[in-house]
Structure formats: structure tokens, C-alpha cells
Structure 1
């Protein structure tokens, strides 16, 4: 009996296992069928949606075709075919459009009778198509797919302006506004304005939308003055802040604008105005660093200390340099620093400036198309006087008495660089001193140091000669040594070189001992050294991460201090020149 019971139990278990397996299998099959049916249903819904959109674009294409706006008709019909490639009516309409495009253009007189559009266009889309499109638009709206909702609703309006007009316009208005706000959040302000304009076209009396548009416009306007005009940028951001203090980052923008403006005013020496800007910034952020900057500006305002460069004591004289304005398409000569206005344009269409010893004149290379060559700029009158007539002439350097100029040029037919000397104001006095470039007249007037070689083209480096071209002899023996600049006392020469370390660096030459020592050496390009009038500083150009700037360094060595970014671009920095005058 026990054996029969065990067999019975075993059979029951076996049957139960089979039943469970069959049930499980049927469940899996049912799920697969359901998933397939669901996918198929989703596919059918997407297909119906595509067909509805294709019909709407087809209808718009036919409207354009009737109005003979063929380009717009083609776009709509081709878009309909992209949505539904087998759309027979769109295919036929596109063929008709092509025939119209191939017809000869009518003459102005007499006016021919226009060829009628074939009357084979189908009826407007049936209500079920529009209903499907409206349902899809509503679903897109609820899921916050503003672009999809707008596309469908606009298509419905184009196909049948009266179809559920109030509901369509209500949804379209809300979608325009929502999309505009989303675009503002993405910092796409111009596109947001277009959305608000569409919304206002539907509801001109929508005060809240008009306010949002005005604030976005004010924000864009304020940003357009960033870095260009701090007064106007601050004025507009302040207006926006007064109206809506929580609007985007307007509070942070105001804080930064006041700080940047204060720093700019400080560089210009207008410390009292800088104090006002720091006070305004402190109303937004009362930090220790900001208070310290404000206190320093107040002290300088009280004591009357003038121009101070970033991290440096007050520096003497004026620094001139040239930069290319990519927007205007021209070179300009700037003066840095300026007592009141900071870096400012001194000469248009000029490069390679050189101050006269008394600081009253500036010799430079003119780039004006009708005045190519060397010119003289008079600071007192702002007049330009032409010195030479060759576009190749450049790199002028003054004699210590201010009566003569040496310069370099490859004006001759062999295109070799030569050094010339002339009396200021006498173009007929130009005399060639021999081969070489980048000349610099010594403070005592006895030597001209330049980049050159011997008569055979060997032993290249820095050379020296008398002002009449005699007594030529080498000073250094590295061919890339160039751009020499005398110290005011005539005891040292600063120059730049590439071959000494494998990149452009700045070195000092002791004239008496002929010893060369590095001043600015590193992986970044540095060059075009020039001495301050008191001989305590050397200014130079240096490149960091593709950005050129003007720096100064103590003549006896130390840390370099940035003066400013180059106020423009440079297509060949090796052809530039700095000049530090009184």
C-alpha cells in the first residue's frame, strides 16, 4: 500500500510540474503576442501620424501652388513625400510643378494669360485626418513636446483655419509661450523672442508675455555692451534688476560688471570713479577681497596716485604698439597706458611705432594705401607727414638728437634687407649703410646695432657699425639674435633669439663684457623687448594659450607682470615693434 501511495504521489507531482510548465509556456507566448500586438499598434499609430502630417504638408503645398509660389510649394510637397513616400497626390502635384517650372517666363508686355493650374487637386483633408493631427498635437502638448505640438497645430491652421479654431489657437498660444521660456532657459534668447512674437500675434493683449519679451530684449541689449561699454551694460542690467531681481543671472551680471568697470577705471588712473563702482559691487557681495580692492582704490583716490599696471608700481612714460583690428580690417597704433582713457588709438593704418627722444613725434610704418612707406605723426597737431615712399620701409629708430632716422627695407630689386639712414623731413637724404635689418641707434649716437652678417653672408648675429656705415663688427654669433634695444644708459642691449634655447626668448647683452644672460626664458614665445625711459623696466610681448599680451619685467630680473592683452590681432608678431617713450 505504501508503494502505491508513493507512485500516486509521484504521478501527481509529475502532472503538476507539466501543468506548471505548460502554463508558464502559454504565459510567455501570450506576453510575446501582446508585445508584438503592442508594437504593431504603436507602429500603426506612428504610421497614421506620419500620414496625417504628410497630408497637411501636401495641402499647404497645393495652396502655394495655386498662388504660384513655386519654391515654397516644392518644399512642402517634398516634405510630404519624405513623410509618406507613396503619397500619390503629392507625387502628381510635384510633376505638375516641374512642368510649370520648365515653361518659359512670360514677357512684360503684353501680359499673356497665365496657364491655369490643373484642377486635379484633391479635396481638403477629411475631418478624421485633422482630428488625428489634433489628437497628436494635444498629446505632444501634454508631454511638453512644444516643438512637435507647434508643428502640428500650425499645420492644422494652414490646412483648415476654422477647424476647432479656438482650441487650436489656445494650445498654439500656450505652446509658443512655453517654448519661448524653454529657449530662454537654454540661453537661446533670439529664438525665444520669435516665439513670444508669435504668441503676441495671437493675443496682442497678453501683458505677461509682452513683459517677458521686453525683459529678454533688455537682457540681450545689456549683453551687447559687455566689455564694450560698461556704463551702458550696467544701466540696462540695473533696469532689468529693478524690474525683476530674480531674472536669470542679472544679479551676478551686475556684480561682475561693477567689478570689471572698477578695475578698468583703476588701470586708467581714475581711482575716485573706481571707488564708486566698488561700492556698487559691495551692495551685491560684501566680501573681504572686494572690500580690500575698494579700500586700495579709495587710498589712491585720496593720494592722487596715477596709472598703476596690474601688480606693478607706477611706470613712467608711454608704451606704443600696433595691433590688427579684424572687424575694421586695418592696423592701429595704440598708446598704453593713457592717463585718462586707458589703451587708446593714436594712429590709424600704422605699425612699427618709434617715439622720438623728446616724445613729441612718432615715426611709424604707414599702411594707408595712398601713403605707403614711413611717416611721422605729430602729437600736438595730429598731423601725418610722409618720410619715404616704399611700402617695404620699416623698423625706424631715432638718433639721440632727434634729427635722423635709421630704418630697414628690402625695397631693392634683389629683395635683400638693407639699412638706410635719412634726415627727418628730407626724403632725398636717404643713404644705404649696407645689408642688415632691425637697426637700433645707441643713446650716445656712436653706434647702430642691427641683425646682420658679414659680406659673404656668414657669421650672422647682432652686428654694430658707425652711423656712416663704417667699422662693422660682430657682437653675437647666433643667427636668430634680433630686435635689439639699447638701455637708456647705453650699457646693455636687450634682444630676442630663437636658436639659443629652441624657442623665442629675451636676453641681455653687456656691451662692455659682451656677456649674454637670459632675462625671459620659457616654453612660450616672448620677444620685442623695449626699455622704459628710466631704464628700470623692460616691456615685451608674450604669448599664452594663443593669446598675445604686453608684459613688463624689472630690468635686473624678477617676475613678469601683465600690462594688458594685445588690443587686437597680429598676423606676424615678429614684424611688430614696441616703443616706450617719455
Structure 2
């Protein structure tokens, strides 16, 4: 039997009670305790031997040992006492070992385990800090401080982790407010920049919010111009806005910019007797509108009609009235009131001039056709065309030859 195997019952109070009863010669009390132990530790031969020894001692004292010589009884008792002494010695050794373990070895082992836990917590806390896992780092440093409350590394690490947690909370709050309350978000980001310069992308976020604020101001100004029908100003502001951020309020900006281009072109076309410069600007506005909505029928048609009208004007400058009249007539067939009737007036002039050229060339029938076409226009004073047509008609009417008078 080893010391270790005996620890299980040597520490039992009933065993100590039995040992004390044996020393006092209270055999019956000792037997009760030993038999209880034997039931609980059935594989311990030492307990069985001790029970036999106690029974023998009890019988010896009661005079129940008979038929033996005094010498035999002496040796028997001595052997039993020796066994009992050995068992008691083993029990004492086991108890001493248990006491030594609990008083010296266990505390040393616990202290080493505690030290290892402290070192591991500090190391893992530093790793968590380096990996920006600040919540984990804080827990690890707090664990280290429960083991060593005055540990400077744990105190410093916990302070850093808690500071980073606080900064992260401010940062996340600012991010959540960027859309709904950019002013508050900007204040928080400035606070972060003061407390921790270079923290994450705070500088870039401040710049983006400021840019967005500028975009918002420009958008509001463009919308005010749009609502006031200041089309040129609206075009400038919307175009500037798109050059800075194509995605900002993209749907509204694109639609309102298209309408501003189209309305500005209409405005230029709606003046009385528009100049060529105004008509060219109208074409340019319509073309810009088409870059935004390429299928818009009004813009496509007016670009075509305006281009023909300007070309006809150039033909008239070069006295190419036949070509001018052809273009102006095509426009007139699509929209008789194009450019508030200016196209019709230009057509009337071109027909008169072309008729005059034909008349000068001796083509009276051709001239008459042009004068009659001019006279058939509505919305213009056709007096001259009708007069020219009558003159040409007279010229084309043959003069009757006088019949000679008969000789009386």
C-alpha cells in the first residue's frame, strides 16, 4: 500500500476517530468506525486487517483467547501491535504529505499557474491591441489586473484599449449621422481629429462632408434658379454641380438640367425677329438637352428646323434665293408659325426675290409661279406679291393684232 492510495480514507474523520478509540482501548467504538469505513472502502485490505486486530485486542482483554501459552500470546500481540504501528505510521506519513501539499506545494503550483495566466493575458492583450480588437484587449487586461492589480503593463494596456473603444464609438456615431445630420457628424469628426490626429479616415470624411455641404448649397441655388425660370443661371449651377459630383441628386439634377436647356432654347426662339446668334444658341441648348434625353422629339425636330432656317438665311445672304426658298418652304410645311412667323416672312421675301431673279432672266412663267406662291402665304402682307403677279400676268397676255379697215 502506498501513501497516495491511503489518502482517500486516512483523511476520513471516522478513521481518526477509530485511531483515537484504539489508543484509548475503546474497542467497540473503534470497530463501529472501522466497519463503516470498510463498507465505504471495500478494497482496502488495511482496514480489514485493522478490524481483525481490534477484535483480537478486544478478545485478549476479555480473556477470550484460551488454549495458548503466554509466549504465543505475547508474540501474537506483538505482531498485531507492529502491524498497527506500521498502519499508524503510514497514516501519519500520508497526513503529513497531504498537509505539505496543501500548505506548500499547492500554493506554489497555484502561484505559478496564476503567473502563467497573467503573462498570457498580457501577451494576448497586446496582440488584440495590435489587431485593433479593442473590446477583447480590454477584457484581457482587466483579467490581468484581477491577478495583479498594480501591474503597469496591464494598466497602460487597459487605458489604451478603453481610449480606442471610446474613439471608435464616436467615429461610428459620426458615420451614422453623416446623411441625416451632417453638421453634428462634422462636429464629432473635428473632435476626433483633435483628440487623435490621423485617426482612421477622419480627415477624408471631414472633406467629404464639407464637399457635400458645398454641393447642397449649389443644389439649392440651382433649384431656386430653376423655380424662378432663370434658365441660364440654372444651367450654369446644375452643370457645375455635375462636374463636382455626377451622382449627387442625379435624377433631379439631370431632369431639371434637361428642362433648363430646353426652356432656354424656347426662350431664344420666342423673341421677335431672333438674331442668328440667338438661333445658334438655341440649337446649342437643344443639343445639350439631347445629351441628357436623346429621344426627346421636340429637341430633335427644332434642331433640324433651326439648322435649315439658318442655312436658308446664309443662302439669302449669297442671293441664292431659290435654295433658300426651298428650305424655308419645307420648314413652313412642318410649322407655319415657326419662330413666331419669322420663317414665314423670310419665305415670303425669298419667293419675291427668286421671282424677281426669274423675271430678270426672262422666265416670266417661273416668276409668276413664285409670286403666286408668295401671295398665297397667310399672316404676311402679300400686296407686293399680288401686284408683281398681276404685272407678269399682263406681260404674258398677248396683245390683239388690229384688223385693217376695209377700203371704201
Shorter-chain TM band: 0.3 to 0.5
Higher RCO (CA 8 Å, separation ≥ 6 residues): 1
The structure with the greater share of residues assigned to helix is 2
For normalisation by structure 2, the TM-score amounts to 0.42
The structure with the greater share of residues assigned to strand is 1
